Amino acid sequence: MQDLSLLFHGFAVVLSPFNVGLMLLGIVLGVIIGVLPGLGAANGIAILLPLTFTMPPTSAIIMLSCIYWGALFGGAIASILFNIPGEPWSVATTFDGYPLAQQGRAGEALTASFTSSFVGAFVAVVMITFLAPIIARFALQFGPPEYFAVYLLTFCSFVGMGKGSPAKILVSMMIGFALSTVGIDIVTGQLRMTFGFTSLLKGFDFLIAVIGLFGIGEILLSMEEGLAFQGAAARINPKVVLETWKKLPRYWMTFIRSTIIGCWMGITPGGATPASFMSYGAAKKFSKDGDRFGTGVLEGVVAPETAAHAAGTSALLPMITLGIPGSPTAAVLLGGLLIWGLQPGPLLFAEKPDFVWGLIASMYLGNVAGLIVVLALVPLFAGILRIPFSIIAPVIVVICGIGAYTVNNSMHDIWFMLGFGVIGYVFKKLNYPLAPLVLALVLGNAAENAFRQAMLMSQGSLGILWSNGLVGSISTLALIMLFWPLISKLLRNVRPARPDKLAEQQPVD
């Protein structure tokens, strides 16, 4: 296998002392980001992105992806010990994790959660290792119509698989597209939507949107509550870890089921949050102790954590192979690649094998290192949560401001960030999802170009989206996804479905 030898070469790249150091630094920073409410993986990476501009791209992506793994691990700590989900995908972890902590079994819950995170991510990385080269080779044949169809599918999936009002998902997505058209039209060179403001010439950078929507918006939301932490004590000793590990193989079926759900939801842009809820729901349904879920069952921690990590990791598969991120965080990583002059997509595998395989190798090592770091440093990270919010909040605002400035060294961007913060706050409260907005803003230009080129090829006929079997089936699938809310309504009229209680507690991501 040529790919495997490339992977081992990747390991050699990653294992230089400099890169291992960055990996550990990334994980520690990531866990801190994950633990703190208000600093999520997406905006955390967006803020830290400028720090990596001076590094070689491979080292930079290793550090950034490790921040991502760290954030995925860290979300669970706040959920289990404090009943405050540090990240949206760890909401489902609080259902059984916090009761376990209250019973004095926090160590067990944390070990189970970290281990299942690790398993989910590991399986997803193995999948990426084998599928990525195949998809990349396949995608080399894609032309503009195929790309536009894939974009269409990505965005229609939000409507089909998202929760909440389809109209709101559409509005949010289209605002992203609309904002992406602001500035100079790269095809005709005309200025668009600038309304005479020179500050709009360069358009809206999506990193600014991410920092504002998720960072400032989240701080405003948290301020409403006036956060008061009441945490359980966390101590993990090797004995608890070993005993928990002995119990875990019993849940092999949950592991397999959750990993499959997670990988599927990660590749399609369902994302980690719905994956964790679906997996929790499925585990509750199929488990022998289904009725005891919610009172502190280890299986109830295993299921959402496995799925969230599998989804979070597999979101990177479409990002590196097609240039289409599966989640806002993957979108930020994609933004990073573009800044370093790397065009994600099938050609990346042919042109920069060092980079791609270094990234994949760092996923393996990053997760192993992550597991060890979090198990060893839990008390330290839990301590961070005890820092009062009136210190954390201004510091996060300062960090967001610095992050927004460093993206383009522009003061305008900090003001835009504040504006996006207010939008994020209002949208979140009215259940407009933010992920479609961000992804549309990232992919807007690429999607528009693919659309224009496809339309030029066909002289303006939409028929090109059905011109061959491949593009036709992708487009058809996209339309099914788009109209899924209507289709499922029709189906429900024929056969009434049972009400989904879990869905009501689920946040719109």
Partner 1 sequence: MDDATHRGEEERSVISTRRMELVVAALLFLFGAVFMYQSYELGFRWAVEGPQSGFFPFYVALIICAASLAVLIGALRGKVGKDDESFVARGQLKQVLSVLIPAGVYILGIELIGTYVASVIYIALFMRILGKYSWLKSVAISVVICVLFFFMFEVWFQVPLYKGTWNLTGWTGY
* 365 vs 439, beta carbon nearer partner 1: 439
Q: Which of 111, 42, 107, 104 is nearest to 73 (CA)?
A: 111
429 touches partner 1 (CB under 8 A): yes
Alpha-carbon span 319 to 341, nearest angstrom: 15
Which residues on neighbouring strands pair with residue 184, listed in sequence order?
191
Which of 20, 25, 131, 178 binds partner 1 (CB under 8 A)? It is 178
Residues counted in the chain: 509
| Binding window for partner 1 (CB under 8 A); candidates: 166-174, 312-320, 471-479, 501-509 | 166-174
Q: Candidates 318-326, 336-344, 361-369, 400-408 — which segment interacts with partner 1 by CB under 8 A?
A: 400-408
User: 14 or 447: whose CB is closer to partner 1?
Assistant: 447
Window 44-63: residues binding partner 1 (CB under 8 A): 50-51, 53-54
> Is 489 among the residues that bind partner 1 (CB under 8 A)?
no
- E strand segments, 369-474: none
Neighbouring C-alpha atoms within 13 Å toward the C-beta of 54: 2
How far apart (Å, rounded) are the C-alpha atoms in residues 149 and 146?
5
Alpha carbons within 13 angstroms on the beta-carbon side of residue 181 total 12
CA distances from 263 to 53, 138, 159, 311, 404 (A): 31, 20, 19, 5, 32
Q: Does 15 bind partner 1 (CB under 8 A)?
A: no
Q: Name residues contacting partner 1, limited to 342-361 (CB under 8 A).
A: none
Q: Which of 11, 163, 165, 466 binds partner 1 (CB under 8 A)?
A: 165
In the bound state with partner 1, the residue whose beta carbon lies nearer, of 408 and 476, is 408
Angle between helix axes 435-457 and 328-339 (nearest 10 degrees) is 60
Cβ-based nearer residue to partner 1, 9 or 202: 202
| Residue 462 CB, nearest approach to partner 1 (Å) | 12
Q: How many residues bind partner 1 (CB under 8 A)?
A: 56
Choosing from 395, 480, 486, 491, the residue that interacts with partner 1 (CB under 8 A) is 395
Q: Does 126 bind partner 1 (CB under 8 A)?
A: no
Residue ranges in 210-269 that form contacts with partner 1 under rule CB under 8 A? 216, 219-220, 223-224, 226
Give whichever of 257 and 428 is closer to partner 1, judged by the CB atom: 428
Interaction of residue 455 with partner 1, rule CB under 8 A: yes
H/E segment holding residue 426: helix 411-429
The CA-based dihedral angle spanning residues 24, 26, 32, 36, taken in that order and rounded to the nearest 10 degrees: -160
Torsions phi, psi for 49 (to 5 deg): -50, -45
Per-residue burial over 231-269, b if 16 or more Cβ lie within 10 Å, else e, is bbebebeeebbeebeeebeebeebbebbbbbbbbbbbbb
Please, are residues 271 and 509 in contact by the beta-carbon 8 Å criterion? yes
187 belongs to the binding site for partner 1 (CB under 8 A): yes
Q: How many other β-carbons are positioned within 10 Å of the β-carbon of residue 174?
A: 14
Q: Which amino acid is at 424?
A: G
Q: Which of 15, 376, 380, 426 binds partner 1 (CB under 8 A)?
A: 426
Q: Which is nearer to partner 1, 183 or 353 (CB)?
A: 183
Among 411, 480, 486, 503, binds partner 1 (CB under 8 A): 411
Which of 93, 92, 87, 83 shows the shortest CA–CA distance to 31?
87
Using CB under 8 A, which of 21, 379, 383, 394 touches partner 1? 394
Choose which of 242, 430, 462, 487 interacts with partner 1 (CB under 8 A): 430
- The binding site for partner 1 (CB under 8 A) comprises 50-51, 53-54, 165, 167-168, 170-171, 174-175, 177-178, 181, 185, 187-188, 190, 192-193, 195, 216, 219-220, 223-224, 226, 388, 390-391, 393-395, 397-398, 401-402, 405-406, 409, 411, 414-415, 418, 421-422, 425-426, 429-430, 448, 451-452, 455-456, 460
